[in-house]
């Protein structure tokens, strides 16, 4: 039987409390806060009018049932889509939030993992807008900007030496990743459950990196990861480790 907290394991509410409310909505972030989450993760795309929008997919198909793409609509047009009912009819009022609205909900004390889904290749100028917003809100210290798009991370680094960066490994071979992480002065390596192993965790720690793993919704799995030194997990259930398993 495993229960209780795992020492020093950071639980990061993945897309908010997305196991209990529709992902990446204000309802999901409010619930994460109510459940005591110390850290949250969400995904950012850019609308046609350059507003920064919090949603995982580049299109509305999965969460709203429409084929449109985020980049083709303004945020006011995007506001019309219900992105809650697919999860539960109780959430039919949920709309795609803007980044600033999400930051208002999570507050200044929460660690934020802002995942840029794509950089300027798809969303011209997105890195500069994110940096500017974080500066304006004095959120550079609490926010880790992460991405599978390593060019986007390079752009953020070039704009802001103080930005905290998280490196999502994706398809990059690990040897090349270590080198790129060093060049970027990233602070964390983010691995999927398929990618994580003890050697990579140790390699990260030798380089003074935090190693974070997504998406972990099983308490026994979280305990196993902690045993090999994983520093934190992205989970859809912010109280994952308070359940008895
Ligand atoms: O940032 C960790 C995790 O969110 C990456 O995968 O697809 O859930 O955004 P995804
Ligand atoms: Mg994500």
Q: How far is the CA of 133 from the centre of ligand 2 (A)?
A: 19
Q: What is the pLDDT of residue 5?
A: 54
Q: Give 54 Cα–ligand 2 centroid separation in angstroms.
A: 10
Q: Which ligand is nearest to the CA of 233?
A: 1
What architecture does CATH give domain 5-244?
A: Alpha-Beta Barrel (3.20)
> In this predicted model, what pLDDT tens digit does every residue of 81-111 receive, in sequence order?
999 999 999 999 999 999 999 999 999 999 9
CB-based contact 167:178 (threshold 8 Å) = no
Mean pLDDT value of segment 6-32: 94
**Which residue has its alpha carbon closest to ligand 1 atom 1?**
115
Confidence band, pLDDT 50/70/90 cuts, at residue 245: very low
The answer to whether the CB of 156 falls within 8 A of the CB of 131 is yes
Q: Where are the beta strands (DSSP E) in the chain?
A: 10-14, 39-46, 52-54, 111-116, 143-147, 164-168, 188-192, 210-214, 232-235
| Mean pLDDT across 111-123 | 98
C-alpha–C-alpha distance, residues 163 and 121, integer Å = 20
- For residues 134 and 159, is the Cβ–Cβ distance under 8 A? no
- To test the pocket of ligand 1, the residue of 24, 43, 148, 196 to mutate (highest count of ligand atoms within 8 Å of its CB) is 43
14 is catalytic: yes
* 122-141 mean pLDDT: 98
- Residue 11: strand pairing partners: 233
- In this structure, the residue with its CA closest to atom 7 of ligand 1 is 56
Tell whether the model's pLDDT for residue 121 goes beyond 50: yes
- Our measurement of the distance from residue 117's CA atom to the centroid of its chain's CA atoms, rounded to an integer in Å, reads 9
Digit-coded pLDDT (tens) for 41-63: 999 999 999 999 999 999 999 99
The confidence score (pLDDT) of residue 20 equals 98
Residue 205 known to be catalytic: no
pLDDT at 242: 86
Class of residue 173 by CB neighbours under 10 A (exposed 0-12, middle 13-18, buried 19+): exposed
- Say whether pLDDT at 206 is over 80: yes
Confidence (pLDDT) at 207: 98
What average pLDDT does this structure show over 212-221? 97
**Average pLDDT score over the chain:** 96
**Contact (CB, 8 A) for 184 and 157:** yes
In three-state secondary structure terms, 242 is helix
Contact 213, 193 (CB under 8 A): yes
Q: Rounded to two decimals, what is the model's pTM?
A: 0.96
Half-sphere exposure of 211 (CA within 13 A, CB side): 24
Q: Which residues line ligand 1 (CB under 6 A)?
A: 14, 41, 43, 56, 113, 115, 146, 190, 214-215, 234
Residue in the structure block whose two tokens are 């990061």: 12
What is the helix (H) or strand (E) element at residue 99, kind and residue range?
helix 99-106
**Percentage of residues in the chain with pLDDT exceeding 70?**
96
């Amino acid at each position: 039987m495993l229960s209780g907290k795992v020492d020093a394991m950071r639980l990061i509410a993945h897309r908010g409390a997305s196991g209990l409310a529709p992902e990446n909505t204000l309802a999901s972030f409010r619930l994460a806060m109510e459940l005591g989450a110390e850290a949250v993760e969400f995904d950012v795309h850019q609308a046609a009018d350059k507003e920064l929008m919090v949603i995982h997919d580049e299109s509305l198909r999965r969460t709203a049932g429409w084929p449109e793409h985020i980049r083709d609509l303004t945020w006011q047009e995007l506001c019309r889509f219900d992105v809650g009912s697919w999860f539960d009819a109780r959430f039919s009022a949920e709309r795609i939030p803007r980044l600033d609205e999400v930051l208002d909900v999570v507050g200044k004390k929460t660690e934020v993992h802002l995942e840029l889904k794509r950089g300027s290749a798809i969303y011209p100028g997105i890195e500069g807008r994110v940096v500017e917003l974080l500066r304006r809100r004095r959120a550079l210290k609490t926010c880790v900007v992460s991405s599978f798009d390593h060019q986007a991370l390079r752009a953020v680094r070039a704009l802001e030496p103080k930005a905290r960066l998280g490196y999502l490994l994706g398809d990059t071979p690990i040897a090349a990743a270590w080198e790129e992480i060093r060049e970027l002065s990233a602070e964390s390596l983010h691995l999927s459950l398929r990618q994580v192993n003890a050697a990579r965790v140790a390699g990260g720690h030798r380089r003074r990196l935090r190693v974070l793993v997504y998406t972990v919704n099983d308490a026994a799995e979280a305990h196993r990861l902690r045993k090999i030194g994983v520093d934190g997990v992205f989970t859809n259930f912010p109280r994952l480790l308070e359940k008895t398993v």
